[in-house]
Amino acid sequence: MNPKKKLLLAYLQSVRFFLTCYLIMFLLLLFTFKIEGLPLNALKDFFGLSLLIVIIFLAFRLKALIKGLRQLAQFNAESLSNSLPKSTMLEASYAELVNQLQQTIFDLKAEKRNESVALLELVELWSHQMKVPLSAVKLMNETGEFTDLDLEIAEMLHYLNLMLNIIRLKQSSTDYYFEPFDLTELISESIKKYARFFIAKNLRVDLKSFKHDLITDRKWFQFAFEQILYNAVKYTEKGKITIDFKNNTLTVTDTGIGISSQDLPRIFEAGYTGYNGHMTEKSSGLGLSQTKQVLENLNFNISITSEVGVGTQIKIQSIHD
């Protein structure tokens, strides 16, 4: 068979499960909107962002496959020719070399397989998170109340943006661009972005007065901060969220349900299904694990202190003053 056809078949087989899940999910969503008489215009943003995620995922998947094949071919051609024993060497040397090559190939295959499994697990966690706003939309249709439709769509867009950035973080290189920017301005933008969530819960935002120019990648830092802000809103039913910057440390404090002491040490683990507060809110830890990875890549430390029934405080501090 033509090598190009073999590569195409291998690529299609590796993404078949992902494409099937995406198609089924979107068709079910479209079918639900259709039979329940919901406005299809509400799906435009969802379809656009989800399609963008699929295209980016497929492109990166193909790139990774081609890169892996090239590296493997280069290794087999160059390393084997340079490492072949001379005619005077014992047969044991030949056997050892073959075993090393076989082990290397096995390790490469295992690494690719583990990456695929990890990505599928993340997609599964993400799909569970998406069920919440979708169920809310279904309930709205049953009750005839559509006042919070925009809020549920905004939550779906939040999770779509999260998945897009997770895929980007999985790549070997990320487009970091360090530049100075006004930290207060960035925080204000994020607060406005999530204003409808604050209004829906009647929560106050106490943004302390400070002036600080931060030098880092603005886009990725804002992504990390917004994951923290979203979690603060999600697990706070009354009171306020306070944001302050002192001693080179950005602090976000909420008056939410808090995090239990047994969950706190593992709160940054991807896929850790711990329970917040008095086991009333189950969390996947999907957003916080990505937040920690981004901040570490940007040379920031993140720490969390919390007390059940009192609230949670998250601190972000630059490793370099």
Kindly list the averaged pLDDT for each block of 10 residues, start to end, along the chain of length 321.
65 73 76 71 69 76 70 54 48 65 73 64 64 71 69 74 72 76 94 88 92 92 92 90 94 92 82 51 65 90 92 90 54
Please tell me the predicted confidence (pLDDT) of residue 1: 59
Domain count, the chain: 2
Number of alpha carbons in the 13 Å side-chain half-sphere of residue 163: 28
Please tell me the predicted confidence (pLDDT) of residue 85: 47
Concatenated DSSP letters for 230-242?
HHHHHT--SSEEE
Please tell me the predicted confidence (pLDDT) of residue 252: 96
Q: Which of 115, 134, 169 is the C-terminal boundary of a domain? A: 169
- Distance of alpha carbon 319 from alpha carbon 259, whole angstroms: 26
Q: Which two tokens stand for residue 167?
A: 């895929």
In this structure, the answer to whether residues 150 and 13 fall within a common structural domain is: yes
Q: Which of 115, 145, 169 is the C-terminal boundary of a domain? A: 169
In this structure, the answer to whether residues 21 and 153 fall within a common structural domain is: yes
- Which residue has tokens 């829906």? 200
This prediction's pTM: 0.57
Number of alpha carbons in the 13 Å side-chain half-sphere of residue 37: 7
Q: Please state at what angle helix 286-297 crosses helix 149-169, rounded to 10 degrees.
A: 50
In this structure, the answer to whether residues 206 and 281 fall within a common structural domain is: yes
User: For residue 294, what are the domain limits?
Assistant: 178-318
In this structure, the answer to whether residues 129 and 190 fall within a common structural domain is: no
In this structure, the answer to whether residues 145 and 192 fall within a common structural domain is: no
Cβ–Cβ < 8 Å for 174, 168? yes
Please tell me the predicted confidence (pLDDT) of residue 280: 46
In this structure, the answer to whether residues 7 and 40 fall within a common structural domain is: yes
Please tell me the predicted confidence (pLDDT) of residue 79: 53
In this structure, the answer to whether residues 133 and 7 fall within a common structural domain is: yes
Cβ–Cβ < 8 Å for 32, 46? no
Q: Please state at what angle helix 149-169 crosses helix 43-74, rounded to 10 degrees.
A: 10
Please tell me the predicted confidence (pLDDT) of residue 61: 73
Q: Which of 134, 169, 204 is the C-terminal boundary of a domain? A: 169
In this structure, the answer to whether residues 209 and 251 fall within a common structural domain is: yes
In this structure, the answer to whether residues 27 and 60 fall within a common structural domain is: yes
Phi, psi for residue 216 in degrees, rounded to 5: -170, -170
In this structure, the answer to whether residues 164 and 215 fall within a common structural domain is: no
In this structure, the answer to whether residues 261 and 296 fall within a common structural domain is: yes
In this structure, the answer to whether residues 72 and 142 fall within a common structural domain is: yes
